[in-house]
Amino acid sequence: MKKAFGIIVLCAAVCSCTKNNNEIIINKLTPQGNFKTYTISAGQHSCSDNVFIPTSLNELKFKVKFDSAAIYSTADPQNQSDINKLYGFADNNAFHQQYSARFGWRWGNNALRLFGYVYNNGVRKYKELTTIDIGKEHICSILITPASYIFSVNGNIDSLPRLSVTPKAEGYKLYPYFGGEEVAPHKVAIFIKDL
């Protein structure tokens, strides 16, 4: 299984490593200044630019900024507590619903809330980390250790367990995703800059 996953990762890496110069110039000229805009269209779960990128990480560090589109109400009020996914990675050379770590987010009780969100051997665990302001840049990171994922938001630190056996987080990048049960009720834009 691990060999097959490795072959898939290698093939994807070879096929996804080309960029033309026009894309590079356009990305540098975006109004967000080096931030990449991930858009989740109304009625969708997945974002634009959801490209398979293999990863081998000791730490994932990025800046994130949300605009007012992060404020939403779900059609079913019980789904308001669902956690949307922000950014992270699969781990242990496995599918992300087996082993992964990422930040989650949701709008609840008039605040934008960030979560640590992990899977270990198919078991999901999450923890609210903090609330953040809309319209401001926030520095987030996930540090990988043998036994834990250490989440940091603007210097506030917490951790969740890690059961993966690989020394680094070996897998692929995970992008913004709306849901939970429901799709995005309107267009959501999330601005991310890798550090």
The CATH number of domain 2-194, selected from 1.10.150, 2.60.120, 2.70.98, 2.60.40 = 2.60.120
Q: Can you tell me the distance from the alpha carbon of 104 to that of 177, in angstroms, rounded to the nearest whole number?
A: 9
Angle at 77 (CA atoms; ends 75, 78), nearest 5 degrees: 120
What's the pLDDT score for residue 156? 96
Output Rg (C-alpha) for the chain, integer angstroms. 17
CA nearest neighbour of 131 among 51, 46, 66, 184: 66
Q: What is the pLDDT of residue 138?
A: 98
pLDDT at res. 20: 36
Q: How far apart are CA 170 and CA 48, in angstroms?
A: 23
- For every residue of the chain, DSSP letters joined together read -HHHHHHHHHHHHHHT----HHHHHHHHTSTTSSPEEEEE-TT-SBPS-----EEEESEEEEEEEE-GGG----SSGGGGGPPEEEEEEE-TTS-TTTSEEEEEEEEETTEEEEEEEEEETTEEEEEEEEEE-TTS-EEEEEEE-SSEEEEEETTEEEEEE----SSSEEEEEE--B--SSSPPSS-EEEEEEE-
Residues of the chain with pLDDT under 50: 1-32
Percent above pLDDT 90 for the chain: 81
Tokens for 98, please give them.
Answer: 């087996």
Cα four-point dihedral sign 95, 100, 105, 109: positive
11 and 3 in contact (C-beta within 8 Å)?
no
Domain boundaries along the sequence of the chain? 2-194
Q: Model's pTM, two decimal places?
A: 0.83
Dihedral sign computed on CA atoms, order 55, 57, 62, 68: positive
Q: Residue 31 has what pLDDT?
A: 40
Q: pLDDT at position 50, please?
A: 87
pLDDT tens, residue by residue, 40-95: 999 999 998 889 999 999 999 999 999 999 999 999 999 999 999 999 999 999 99
Check residue 33 and give its pLDDT: 72
